[in-house]
Amino acid sequence: MIIPRIESSSRPFQGLLINVEVDTLSRGDGKTFIREVARVTDVVAIAAIDDEGRILLIKQYRHSMRGPVWEIPAGRLDVAGETPAEAAARELREEADVLAESLEPLSVFGNSVGWTTETTHLFCARGLTATTPFERLCEEADIEKAWVSLPEARAMIQNGTIADAKTIIGILLSS
């Protein structure tokens, strides 16, 4: 396999959450082609399973989808020096007011490897206890929580109620 060489690179957009790079590549045959890459920080996602075998789903507004989305708790690795497991514990607390006795790594996967560097670190949380409510802002202020049996969650995938990739992977790996 020939690994293309980057002939030139530019960054036409630098934002708060993403940077877009435009690379001109060559396979060494004199021809070039362009690829755009969204560079972002990695994320964590948590399949929180309670003692009854139910998974915690949250519903929140996602601007890219222009509406609410059912998903598992998740968030960016955006605290300096924080490990993925520490970020998962923080996000579970911030988004769902839940503490976990254990966080088991389930998978690390590329979200859309054709155009973004975003990688998700997926954990299974168990030994859950409720904690004091976290003060949420912006779209997180209206988060709804639901404990759903795993068979019901799989049915939500099949009927299109759940369409978020990290959530589908979390449900399937927790089943």
Backbone angles phi and psi of 134, in degrees to 5? -90, 140
Given phi > 0 = left and psi -120 to 50 = alpha, else beta, which region is 81?
left
Task: Based on the residue annotation, tell me whether 140 is a catalytic residue of this protein.
Answer: yes
Are residues 57 and 166 in contact, defined by beta-carbon separation less than 8 angstroms?
A: no
In terms of Cβ atoms closer than 10 Å to its own Cβ (0-12, 13-18, 19+), residue 142 is exposed
Q: Of 82, 86, 140, 152, which is the active-site residue?
A: 140
Q: Catalytic positions, please?
A: 140
